[in-house]
């Protein structure tokens, strides 16, 4: 397969994943603003930060309003991480690798683009938002489903999956990092209403507020939340789960191509950190430091895959 095709698949799935994650972030943000007494537009700072666009946002908007933040995150094409931009880039990558996709996967991607382009072409009204966010998640789910149900399990599949999980790991760690201070155990705040809110919003932004309850008997505890999102291998958006998937897909590639690259070592090392680590060690070491280090190693892995599999040259 062409290096450019591997690159196209990798980025197609990174962008689809990102679009969905941005939609979740907005969803969590909306939830906070609806349910929390005394919430203000300022709360959107955290959401913009988690999406990694706070700086860019402030360059186009002098003031922060909820409506502007939502617009920027969902439909502003000058924001390369807006849902619309992600879907546009994702679909462009899909067009580029059209021959590598099954008809089902391509059509799901193309229809997602057609539908969201129409919905995001006009200014959003607050009443439309819940439905819109559902549609984004639904459309992205259809792409994933078509992909799972129809693609051959070969190198094409592996590169697509690696793209998905590198992106997801990046997103989850960023969400945690932005809110890490919320998770720091500060005796005076534990159990306060403020914490519960913030904690729930973190869980909601990774669609985990229900599953958390099942795993940890419903008690919100900072260490448990961090444990869930970092180390719990059963949790499909946790860093540990992402790295199980990344290493297994990289291992398939190594088998198929009969060649192990630097990327394999890096991925294995990150996986073993996550497998062996305990949440108390991580908290002691400093959650922020841990996450910062993780994001940079995740990026390093992405660069090594890009180079090792000749994405560009």
Partner 1 sequence: MLTAENLPRPPYKTYHEWYASQDAAHLIRKTQDAENIFRKTGITFAVYGHADSSEKLIPFDIIPRIISAREWRKLAQGIEQRVLALNAFLDDIYHKQEIIKAGRIPRALIERNVTFLPEMIGFKPPGGVYTHIVGTDIVRTGEDQFYVLEDNARTPSGVSYMLENRETMMQMFPELFTLNKVQRVEDYPRLLRQSLASLAPPGCKGRPRVAVLTPGIFNSAYYEHSFLADQMGVELVEGADLRVIDGRVKMRTTRGYEAIDVLYRRVDDDFLDPMTFRADSALGIPGIMDVYRAGNITIANAPGTGICDDKAIYSYMPEIVEFYTGRKALLENVPTWRCSEPDSLKYVLEHIEELVIKEVHGSGGYGMLVGPTASKKERTDFAEKLAARPDNYIAQPTLALSTVPIFVNKGIAPRHVDLRPYVLVSDKVKIIPGGLTRVALKQGSLVVNSSQGGGTKDTWVLED
- Given a contact cutoff of 8 angstroms between Cβ atoms, the answer to whether 19 and 87 are in contact is yes
Which among 24, 113, 119 is positioned nearest to 73, based on CA atoms?
A: 24
DSSP string, 173-202: HHHHHHTHHHHS--TTTTT-HHHHHHHHHH
Q: Name, in order, each residue with C-beta under 8 angstroms of 145's C-beta and a sequence gap of 6 or more.
A: 108
Residue with smaller CB distance to partner 1, 127 or 313: 313
Task: Tell me how far apart the alpha carbons of residues 288 and 285 are, in angstroms, rounded to a whole number.
Answer: 9
Give the nearest distance from C-beta 85 to partner 1 in angstroms: 16
140 and 108 in contact (C-beta within 8 Å)?
A: no
**Whole-number Å distance between alpha carbons of 71 and 75:** 5
Task: State the nearest-atom distance from the C-beta of 46 to partner 1, in Å.
Answer: 37
Cα dihedral 89, 139, 232, 81 sign: positive
Residues 129-168 that bind partner 1 (CB under 8 A): 155, 159
Query: Cβ closer to partner 1: 92 or 189?
Result: 92
Q: Which residue has the tokens 């969400």?
A: 175
CA distances from 271 to 38, 162, 276 (A): 41, 14, 9
CA distance 274 to 294: 10
User: Closest separation between CB of residue 313 and partner 1, Å?
Assistant: 7
- Residue 304 contacts partner 1 per CB under 8 A: no
Site string for partner 1, 95-114 (x = CB under 8 A): xx-xx---x--xx--xx--x
Binder among 6, 28, 47, 64 for partner 1 (CB under 8 A):
6
Q: Of the two residues 107 and 304, which places its CB atom closer to partner 1 in the complex?
A: 107
Residue 4 binds partner 1, judged by CB under 8 A: yes
* Least gap, CB of 158 to partner 1 (angstroms): 10
* Residue nearer to partner 1 on the CB measure, 39 or 92: 92
Per-residue contact track with partner 1, 250 to 279, x per CB under 8 A? ---x---x-x--------------------
Instruction: Select 5 or 266, whichever has its Cβ closest to partner 1.
Output: 5
- Three-state DSSP at 105 gives helix
CB of 302 to partner 1, least distance (A): 15
Residues in touch with partner 1 (CB under 8 A): 1-6, 92, 95-96, 98-99, 103, 106-107, 110-111, 114, 155, 159, 253, 257, 259, 309-310, 313
């Amino acid at each position: 397969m062409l290096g450019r095709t591997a690159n196209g698949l990798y980025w197609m799935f990174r962008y689809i994943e990102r679009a969905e994650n941005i939609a979740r972030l907005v969803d969590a943000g909306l939830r906070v603003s609806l349910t929390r007494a005394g919430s203000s537009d300022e709360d959107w700072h955290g959401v913009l930060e988690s999406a990694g666009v706070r700086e860019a946002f402030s360059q186009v908007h002098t003031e922060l309003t909820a409506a502007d933040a939502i617009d920027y995150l969902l439909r502003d094409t000058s924001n390369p991480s807006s849902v619309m931009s992600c879907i546009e880039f994702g679909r462009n990558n899909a067009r580029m690798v059209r021959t590598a996709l099954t008809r089902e996967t391509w059509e799901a991607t193309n229809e997602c683009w057609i539908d969201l382009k129409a919905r995001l072409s006009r200014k959003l009204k607050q009443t439309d938002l819940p439905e819109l966010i559902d549609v984004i998640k639904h459309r992205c789910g259809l792409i994933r489903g078509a992909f799972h149900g129809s693609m051959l399990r070969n190198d094409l599949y592996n590169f697509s999956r690696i793209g998905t999980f590198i992106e997801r790991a990046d997103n989850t760690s960023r969400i945690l990092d932005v809110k890490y201070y919320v998770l720091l155990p500060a005796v005076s705040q534990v159990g306060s209403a403020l914490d519960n809110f913030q904690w729930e919003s973190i869980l909601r932004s990774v669609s985990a507020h229900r599953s958390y309850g099942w795993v940890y008997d419903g008690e919100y505890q900072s260490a448990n939340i961090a444990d869930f999102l970092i180390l719990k291998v059963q949790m499909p958006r946790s860093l540990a789960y992402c790295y199980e998937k990344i290493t297994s897909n990289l291992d398939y590639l190594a088998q198929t191509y009969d060649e192990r690259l630097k990327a394999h070592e890096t991925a294995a090392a990150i996986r073993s950190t996550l497998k062996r680590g305990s949440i108390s060690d991580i908290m002691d070491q400093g959650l922020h430091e841990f996450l910062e280090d993780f994001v940079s190693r995740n990026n390093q892995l992405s660069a090594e895959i890009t180079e090792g599999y000749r994405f560009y040259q």
